[in-house]
Amino acid sequence: MLRTSNPALSEKIFRKSVAESGAQTMTINGSIQKTALLVFLTVAGASYTWSKFLSAGPEMVQGWMIGGAIGGFIAAMVIVFKRNLAKYVAPIYAVLEGLFLGAISAYFNAMFPAEGIVMRAIALTFGVLFAMLMLYRAGIIKPTKKFRAGVMAATGGVALVYFVTIIANMFGANLTFMYESSPLGIGISLVIVIIASLNLILDFDFIEKGSQAGLDKNMEWYAAFGLMVTLIWLYIEILRLLALFAGRD
């Protein structure tokens, strides 16, 4: 019942995280507050590399972008395997991912300066977040067993596409259809955006069920981290989708 396609938020994690008798437990408000803090830290990190790009040029942010991406991945793995460290490592993860997002956003902004795609991507990301939350709260989209299975399969398919693309590029095979402003490229990007959006429903359900199950208070940090993983993925895919549309002009 608590299964989710987000690897950071799984049923197994729930079973191992029920709070001991008398201990503080996870709440929805607590998870929201911690998510807001992680968003703030991500924006702070992004602001640094964004401003550095504008003042010093793209060469000065490449190291920050690569370091943020690799460091963020390492921090995420630490949290996944050592969830009791989430309250210490999740803020670090947010800052590192912010450094990466700020740099890559600045690159896209420089490529399409007249489009304003970065601000549009940010607005659409939070628009999708609140829209999916409203749909979840209204019961219009219910995280049923079949829904979970479908989202999990689709997310796994996207992960496989990412993996194959990376491996192909390593061996010199450029899968350009993934990045071209063609109907196929735009269609693939749009499908990925939809899949990322549906993952938000499972994240919301995880937080709600976690508070009802009386999980340990530290799981608020873990749940906030899991939601941030989805939001960052969603933002990157929306940014890429907007860039593909802009490239058709």
Rounded to an integer, what is the distance from CA 154 to the centroid of its chain? Answer: 16
Q: Is 170 exposed, middle or buried (0-12, 13-18, 19+ CB in 10 A)?
A: exposed
92 falls within a domain: yes
Cβ atoms 67, 48 nearer than 8 A: no
6 falls within a domain: no
99 falls within a domain: yes
What is the total count of domains within the chain?
1
Output the average pLDDT for the chain: 87
Q: Tens digit of pLDDT for each residue in 111-168?
A: 888 678 999 999 999 999 999 999 999 999 998 989 999 999 999 998 888 888 778 7
Would you call 216 helix, strand, or coil by DSSP? strand
Numbers of helices and strands, H then E, in the chain: 8, 0
186 falls within a domain: yes
Q: Tens digit of pLDDT for each residue in 55-86?
A: 888 888 899 999 999 999 999 999 999 988 99
5 falls within a domain: no
pLDDT over 80 at 249, yes or no: no
What residue numbers bound the domain in which 50 lies?
11-247
Query: How confident is the model at residue 165, as a pLDDT?
Result: 79
94 falls within a domain: yes
Query: How confident is the model at residue 81, as a pLDDT?
Result: 92
3 falls within a domain: no
Q: Tens digit of pLDDT for each residue in 9-34?
A: 555 555 555 555 456 789 999 999 99
4 falls within a domain: no
